[in-house]
Chains A and B, each alone.
Chain A
Amino acid sequence: MLSLHLDSLGKSFPGLGSPVLLVDFLAITAGERVAVTGGSGSGKSTFINVITGLERPTSGKVVWSGEDITRLSETARDRWRAEHVGLVMQDFHLFPGLSAVENVLLPARLARVADRALIARAHDLLESVGLSRPDQKIETMSRGEMQRVAIARAVLRKPGVIVADEPTASLDVEAGETVGRLLLDMAAEAKSMLIVVSHDQRLIDRLDRRITLSAGRIVADDLREEVAA
C-alpha cells in the first residue's frame, strides 16, 4: 500500500522560459484511482515521469509513503521503481523476438527476481488478461493484445501503484475498453493505486478522481461524486 505526497514540485527544462510542471501540493491516498487529463503539452507525461522517478524534479519533494524519492540516487530510484511501480505506456515497449511470457518476465529476469512463483504468476496473469498462448511471439500479436501483455508485465511484481500514460490512445474503441477494464481489475486485485493519463472519457468516468493539468498546473481536481453531482 503506497500513498503519494507532492510538495512544491517544479520541473523546468533548460531553454524553456516557464516551468513545465508546478504543483504546490498534492496528496493521493493508497488504493485511490486517479485520472490525469489535459491538453497536449500540458505536462501530463512530465508529471508521470517525475512521480515515478524516471525524471528528477527541478525542485520539491515526491514522497511515497514517507520516502522522498527525489533524494535517491539514480540506481536506487530504478530499484525503487522496479519494486513499487507498474508502468503501462502508450507504445507498449515490448520486445520483438521474445514471446508474450518472456516479455512479461524480462525486467524481473534482468533484475534477477524471477523465481518459480513469479514465472507461474506471469502465466496466470496472461490468462487473466485473456491471452491463452503465452509462447506466442510478440510481433505476431494485435495492438490490443500487446497492451494486455504490457499490463501483465506492469502488475507482475504486485506494485503499490500502477501508472498508465495514455494506455488506450493507440487502440480501437473495443480494445481500449478491454484495456481500461483490465487496468481497473488488476489495480483492484493488487489493491494498487492507479494513475491513468487519458482522454478516454469512458475510462475517466470509471475512476475515483480526475486531475486536470494546464500549462503544468493543476487547474481542476474533482472527485467522481462531484462530477456526478
Chain B
Amino acid sequence: MIRFILADLRRLWAGAAVVVLLVTLATALGVTVTLQERALRLGSARAADKFDLVIGVAGSETQLVLSSIFLQPAPLPLMPGEVLAKLSKDPRVAWVAPVGFGDSFAGYPLVGTTRALVGSTVSGFAEGRMFEKEGEALVGAAVKLPVGAEIKPMHGTAQMGGETHAGVVYQVTGKLPPTGTPWDRAILVPIQAVWHVHGLGHDHGHEEEEEQHHEGEVAASGGHDADHDDHGAVDADAPIDENFTADAPGLPAVLVKPKTIADAYKLRQEYRNGNTLAVFPGEVLTSLYATLGDAKMVLSAVAAGSQGLVAAALVLVTVTHIGQRRRQIGALRAFGAPRLSVFAIVWLELFLLVALGIGLGFLTGLAAARLIADAFTARSGIILPVGFTGEDWRMALILLGASAVLSAVPAILAYRQSPAAALRA
C-alpha cells in the first residue's frame, strides 16, 4: 500500500509539493508567532530579574523600566540626589546604585553607575578589571571594543544628531561576562564621571540649580568657551567616590536591591509618594505582556485564518482530485481491493503530505523565530530563548489530529464511491 501511495505521489509530485509547501507556510506562521512572543516574554523577564526595584521621578512606569533596565534611550527627568543618599543608609537596602544615561559611543549606550552594581550583578570579569578612576570604563560582553580602547562619548546618539563631548576620553579597563541583557551592549562608566561631563557635582553649592545648571556649570568648570552643548570636564585620574551624600547631583533612576521581599514591598510603598516612583520591573513587564498578548492574539488570529484557508483549499483540491481519480479508485475495488484499503490509501496519502507540512512548518517556524531573535539580540542585547515547550507539542498533536480528520473527508468520498459508476466515468 505504501508503495502504491509513493508511486502515486511521485507521479503527482508537483501538486504534492505545493500541498506540503502551503501547509508548511501556514504552520510556520503560527509557530513563529507563538515562539517569538514567548521568547520575548522570557527574555525580557530574564533581563529584568536582576533588578528588584527601580526608583525614578514620578511619571511613566513603562518609560522608567525601559530606560533603566532595557537601556532604551529616552530623556528622563532627574530626581534629587538626596534620594540616593537616603537609600544608601536605609537598613532594608542590600545595595543601591544610581544609573545615569544620555551619552553614547559607536552606537553603544553609556551608563553611569557604581562598582556596587557591577559587583552585585555579574560575577567576575571576562577580561581586565573594575573601573577605579573617573576616566575608566567597563564594556559589556557584546561591545566590540578591546580592553585599553579609548571612548569619546557623544551626547545623545549619533542618529539623534548628537555631538561629541570635547575633551572627554574614557579608557576601557575591563570587559564583563555575557548576561543576555541589554547591559551586554552598554559601556559602564562611573556615575561621577557622567555628572562631571555634564557639569554637575563639581561644586557642592550648585545642587539647587539642577534645572538651570548651565550657569552653574560654566562657573564651576572655569569656562569652556568652545563647548556647544555641555559644559564639563572629567578628571581622568580622580578617584571614584561612591559615598553619596544628600547633595549628590540629580539622577534619572536608581536601582535598589532590598534585603527581603517584605522590604521590597515596603520600599516600593514608601517611594511612591508623588515625587518619586518605585516599581518592580516584573510588574511593569506584566502589563507590557498584556499588550504583547493582544498583539499576539491578532497575529495568531491571522495565522489561524491562514491555516483555515489552507485547510479549506486542501479539502477543495483533494475533493476535486478524488473526483478526477474516481476511475482509478473505483477500479481498485472492482479488481478486488477491499473498501477499507481504498479509504486508507486516500486518507494516508493526504495525511502524509499534511503531516509532513506540519513537521516542516514547525522546523521553519523555529528557524524563523531563531533568526528574528538573533536580529533582536544583536540590536538590543536581550537574549530571547526560542524553543519548543509541551504547549507546542500539544499544538502539534492538535494540528495532526485536525489534519487526520480533514484527510478523512476525501477518504470517505472515495469509500462511498460506487465502483460501477467509477468504471463508467
Interface residues of A, Cβ cutoff 8 Å to B: 45, 49, 52, 54-55, 74-75, 78-79, 81-83, 85, 87, 89, 91, 93, 95-98, 102, 106-111, 153-154, 157
Which A residues lie within 8 Å of B418 (CB)? 54-55
Which B residues lie within 8 Å of A79 (CB)? 338
Among B338, B342, B345, B423, point to the contact of A93 (Cβ < 8 A): B423
Does B144 belong to the interface (CB within 8 Å)? no
| Inter-subunit contact A93/B420 (CB<8 Å) | no
Chain A residue at smallest Cβ distance from B424: A45
| Inter-subunit contact B336/A157 (CB<8 Å) | yes
Does B372 belong to the interface (CB within 8 Å)? no
- Tell me how far the C-beta of B53 lies from the nearest C-beta in chain A, rounded to whole angstroms: 70
| Inter-subunit contact B423/A89 (CB<8 Å) | yes
Closest 9 CB pairs of A and B: A82-B336, A97-B7, A93-B331, A110-B337, A107-B336, A54-B420, A110-B341, A55-B420, A107-B335
| Inter-subunit contact A87/B332 (CB<8 Å) | no
Which A residues lie within 8 Å of B8 (CB)? 95, 97
Among A54, A78, A85, A95, point to the contact of B4 (Cβ < 8 A): A95
| Inter-subunit contact B419/A54 (CB<8 Å) | yes
Chain A residue at smallest Cβ distance from B337: A110
The 0/1 profile, CB within 8 Å of A marked 1, for residues 385-425 of chain B is 00000000000000000000000000000000011100110
Interface residues of B, Cβ cutoff 8 Å to A: 1, 3-4, 7-8, 10-11, 327-328, 331-339, 341-342, 345, 418-420, 423-424
Of A45, A78, A96, most B-chain CB atoms within 10 Å: A78
Which A residues lie within 8 Å of B327 (CB)? 91, 93
Which B residues lie within 8 Å of A74 (CB)? 339
- Tell me how far the C-beta of B336 lies from the nearest C-beta in chain A, rounded to whole angstroms: 3
| Inter-subunit contact A93/B328 (CB<8 Å) | yes
| Inter-subunit contact A93/B4 (CB<8 Å) | no
Chain B residue at smallest Cβ distance from A113: B336
Chain A residue at smallest Cβ distance from B10: A97
- Tell me how far the C-beta of A177 lies from the nearest C-beta in chain B, rounded to whole angstroms: 24
Which A residues lie within 8 Å of B10 (CB)? 97
Which A residues lie within 8 Å of B7 (CB)? 95-98, 102
| Inter-subunit contact A96/B424 (CB<8 Å) | no
Which B residues lie within 8 Å of A85 (CB)? 336
Cα distance A127–B333 when bound, in Å?
26
Cα distance A143–B338 when bound, in Å?
27
Among B4, B341, B420, point to the contact of A111 (Cβ < 8 A): B341
Chain B residue at smallest Cβ distance from A80: B336
Which B residues lie within 8 Å of A109 (CB)? 1
- Known contacts A95-B7, A111-B341: does B420 contact A153 (CB below 8 Å)? no
- Known contacts A49-B420, A54-B419, A54-B423: does B335 contact A93 (CB below 8 Å)? yes
Chain A residue at smallest Cβ distance from B340: A75
- Tell me how far the C-beta of B342 lies from the nearest C-beta in chain A, rounded to whole angstroms: 8
Which B residues lie within 8 Å of A54 (CB)? 334, 418-420, 423
| Inter-subunit contact B339/A78 (CB<8 Å) | yes
Cα distance A52–B418 when bound, in Å?
13
| Inter-subunit contact A110/B420 (CB<8 Å) | no
A-B contact pairs, 16 of them (CB 8 A): A45-B424, A54-B334, A54-B419, A78-B333, A78-B336, A78-B419, A81-B336, A82-B335, A85-B336, A93-B328, A97-B10, A98-B7, A110-B337, A110-B338, A111-B341, A153-B335
